[in-house]
Chain A
Amino acid sequence: MLPRRLFEHGAKIPPEQKRLPGYRGAINEALAEEMARDDSIIVMGQDVGKAPPFGVTIGLLDKFGPERVLDTPISEIVMVGAAVGAAIGGMRPVVEMQFGDFLSCAIDQVVHQAAMLRYLTGGQVKVPVVIRLPCGAGQGTGSHHAQSMYSWFVHSPGLRVLVPSTAADAKGLMKTALRQDNPVLFFEEKILYRTRWEVPAEYTGADFTIPFGKAETKRQGIDVTVVATLAMVHYAMEAAKHLEGEGVSVEVIDPRTLAPLDTETILDSVRKTGRLVVVDEAYLSCGIQGEIIASVTEKAFSNLKSPPVRLGNPGVPVPFAPTLEEAVIPNVDKIEKAIRKTLTA
């Protein structure tokens, strides 16, 4: 498990990891590079300029000045609404919700304004807004600061929903988001901020972008397909490694974007393995896990050797107390159990 120290400053980086880009730094780099390339990109949010709480926007105020890095009051409706208006006016705003959960305060501006104005006006306006949403549990931050709410927005037409799980994905997807013209919700998992990653050679290129709707197969396998997002990708990889010792071959797929969702890659995998586990922190009821399973059963029902299993938050407000939080959120152990279940069913 990753450490529960979200707000810790100056934590030591293991020497062997020093050369590797971090997840947090990757987002920062993407923003800085794209802001240097395109003057219309602005960053807005609470404390994003002078004191970014998780450090993602650190240094941007110095580099780009207060006209492009705007500290806002605690006013989520107008943070999003003003970004929508500025986007229609030709800017490319990136809005940070200090915690993704706070987007609930501004939901009308997201699902009715940002997402629908193009449709309602018969295609006359574009709304290229990116909303950054620190999300996820495992940090003991409590029910109002630890949810993974993307299922709400995948449900809503007109939005792109991204869930990068590595530094490379975070950077590449952010750069793509800033070069396209639709509203984007960019979910970044808080527990991943400190993590560091091996990256492909192209990572440092000015045009390193990752397309929307393209899943990544993180690991090939023939017995079970595990679809996982964000931190769960890494837990799934660990579970797969453990099971390899027992002769179970697990394929792990990270969709990377939930809207659009690359169902083809998932279907191809399930047609091969015949077994499916979907693991995500989202609430299970009407959650993304069920959506993925439905897409598979509609198209590859006859390929399934056992009932698909979904793992997620069973419908409990993410608990504040660490021991209770652990009881609710999927982990390596629970993923292993779920995989075994598909094998024995």
Chain B
Amino acid sequence: MDHKTKIEMLRRMLLIRHLEYKWGEAYENREIDGLPPSLGTGQEAVSVGACMALKPGDFVFTTHRGFGPQVAMGMDPDRILADVCFKATGYNKGKSYHVTSVEHGILGMGGIVGAQIPVATGMALSFKLKNLRQVAVPFFGEGACNEGAFHEAANLAAIWKLPVIFLCENNMYAISLRFEEFIPVKSVAGRAKAYGMPGVTVDGNDVLAVYKAVGKAAARARRGLGPSLIEAKTYRLAGHLCDDPGYYRPREEVAEQWSKCPILKFKAQLESEGVLGRNEIEKLESQVKEIAEKAADFARSSPHLPAEEAFTDIFA
């Protein structure tokens, strides 16, 4: 992989991190109310590795922790932040957290755990019926793989050989329950066997490992060979939502996981490979922080929708 791509990967991971912080800050500063932001701090490598392995026309279906893929697919940071601050300049006109851009191949799902998996499978069906060599990628957590929706979609995608990459972000926690408490086997990827599809577990904190696995699954899907299941093992450093006191896990565990932060890890890697020097990394990060700051200003200064907009967009 060329240096430019690796630098772009780091840039997007940093952008997810800092832009998300702005969302969290908006909540903490009481600029927005309601459902607290669901940050994906610590999971940036999964989003960037997966989305950068895709091609134009491919389609990603996000979870309630969907900020990562939105940024990673190249959506405008200003408008993403505007949406989650309920401002009219957002992609959804500020109507929901389900930030969507058909042009970027992003459908914001996530209110109902696992619901995006069958919908993504249907998008893959449309690709197949139209003879398009595109793939659909539902992101979901390890909690969602206990939903019937996952089972039904995986089975259907497998029998119809649909171009789906089932991308499980295993961040170890389904709110308060730890992986071992609700899944009796060591890996989610192992469940792929039951559907006769390939299943791999990768280090979700290693952006290049995710990139490689998704690239391979996408190539397979484009050849008409059907779906794959990828389990990217990572860790949710953030709370389930902002305001999560985190009583369900020891602080020491979280502190230890911070040392495995995918951004730290990738920075060190690029430095040791000689792709970027420490100063260049710092410069890149300060540029990203400026973009995030500017996006926050944009969201803050954007207008809310007029009340009559509550009554539009129900029917086509």
Contact = CB atoms under 8 A, between A and B. Distances in A.
B123 A86 contact: yes
Interface in A129-167: 157-158
B314 A86 contact: no
Interface residues on A, range: 35 or more
B295 to A, nearest CB: 19
A122 interface: yes
Contacts of B136: 85
12 contacts: A77-B148, A77-B152, A78-B156, A82-B119, A85-B119, A85-B136, A113-B109, A119-B314, A122-B91, A122-B96, A124-B100, A125-B107
Contacts, number: 150
Interface string B61-99: 000000000000000000000000000001111111010
Contact of B102 (A70, A78, A125): A125
A307 interface: no
B149 A78 contact: yes
B129 interface: yes
B91 A85 contact: no
B126 A122 contact: no
Interface in B145-164: 148-149, 152-153, 155-156, 159-160
Contacts of A119: 95-96, 313-314
Given A68-B129, A109-B119, 18 more contacts: A77-B149, A78-B153, A82-B122, A84-B119, A85-B119, A89-B125, A109-B115, A113-B112, A119-B96, A120-B96, A120-B108, A121-B98, A121-B100, A121-B107, A122-B94, A123-B316, A125-B100, A158-B314
A118 B92 CA distance: 10
Contacts of B143: none
A215 interface: no
A157 B313 CA distance: 11
A33 interface: no
A91 B126 CA distance: 6
A126 B90 CA distance: 19
A93 B121 CA distance: 14
Nearest to B93: A122
Interface in A102-116: 108-109, 112-113
A70 B162 CA distance: 13
A42 interface: yes
B174 to A, nearest CB: 18
Interface string B236-264: 00000000000000000000000000000
A130 to B, nearest CB: 14
- Best-surrounded residue of B91, B108, B125 (most CB of chain A within 10 A): B125
B316 A118 contact: yes
B203 to A, nearest CB: 30
A216 interface: no
Given A89-B127, A124-B91, A125-B107, A81 B314 contact: no
A309 interface: no
Contacts of B124: 85
B155 A75 contact: yes
Contacts of A76: 152
Contacts of A89: 59, 122-123, 125-127, 130
